Amino acid sequence: MNKTIVSGLIAAALLSTGFASSVSAHQAGDIIVRAGVAVVAPNESSQDVAGNGEFGVDDNTQLGLNFGYMLTDNIGIELLAASPFTHDISLDGIGKIAETKQLPPTLVAQYYFGSADSKLRPYIGAGVNFTNFFDNEFTNDLDGALTDLSLTNSWGVAAQVGLDYQINKNWLVNASVWYAQISTDAHFKLAGDAVKIETDINPWVYMVSVGYTF
């Protein structure tokens, strides 16, 4: 599914020159604000957790926001933000053992295909992600064996592909796919002994939104 969505958005870039109209969109100096639904789908892996396999991290859906600024007709910068994502953490044979919340602000530089008067503007981007984990807690402490959970914050690279369709001078609809490199160290105590588990989250983020151009 990931490859299909990404390939579809990239293919649209090759067709974008055929979608010109009198609607002027994405010019130098424009501010673009988008709001919609964002789904974080972790592609997680971790070290073995006390003989119980790797951590599992579930998907979560929240309000997604991004704020863009066009430096030229084809080059922009964008900040991805969202309401806090909440993820259940599980182990095979045990089920959910913990919960965490995270905010993943991501800043990217973008290249928009097509011209300023194209209604359809596919784009690609690359940049950096910062993820802040908070409100980490065990929901199943295995009769007191698990305590003191904390997750370190993460810095990593990020990439995106997206597609804007300009409805009129100000309004647009958008679909985008992001990939973020997110790695964290999970610290906790197991039967009183300090444990550190290196964990990669590395999620795909899917977003569908409505935007407004100033």
Residue 51 pLDDT:
86
Residue 44 pLDDT:
95
The total number of structural domains that make up the chain: 1
Specify the pTM: 0.84
Residue 7 pLDDT:
53
Compute CA 96 distance to the chain's CA centroid, rounded to the nearest angstrom: 23
Rounded to whole angstroms, the Cα distance separating 25 from 13 reads 16
Residue 2 pLDDT:
57
Nearest to 159 by CA among 194, 191, 212, 123: 123
* Integer CA distances (angstroms), 205 to 25, 41, 188, in order: 25, 6, 28
Tens-digit pLDDT profile for the chain (214 aa)? 555 554 555 454 444 444 444 556 689 999 999 999 999 999 999 999 988 899 999 999 999 999 999 999 999 999 999 999 999 999 998 999 999 999 999 999 999 999 998 999 999 999 999 999 999 999 998 999 999 999 999 999 999 999 999 999 899 999 999 999 999 999 999 999 999 999 999 999 999 999 999 9
Tokens (6 digits) for 151: 């997750």
Name the E strands within the chain: 31-41, 45-46, 56-57, 60-70, 75-82, 85-91, 95-103, 106-112, 120-138, 146-151, 154-166, 171-180, 183-190, 193-200, 204-213
Rounded to whole angstroms, the Cα distance separating 101 from 8 reads 31
CATH code of the domain in which 59 resides? 2.40.160.20
Expressed as residue numbers, the domain containing 150 is 2-213
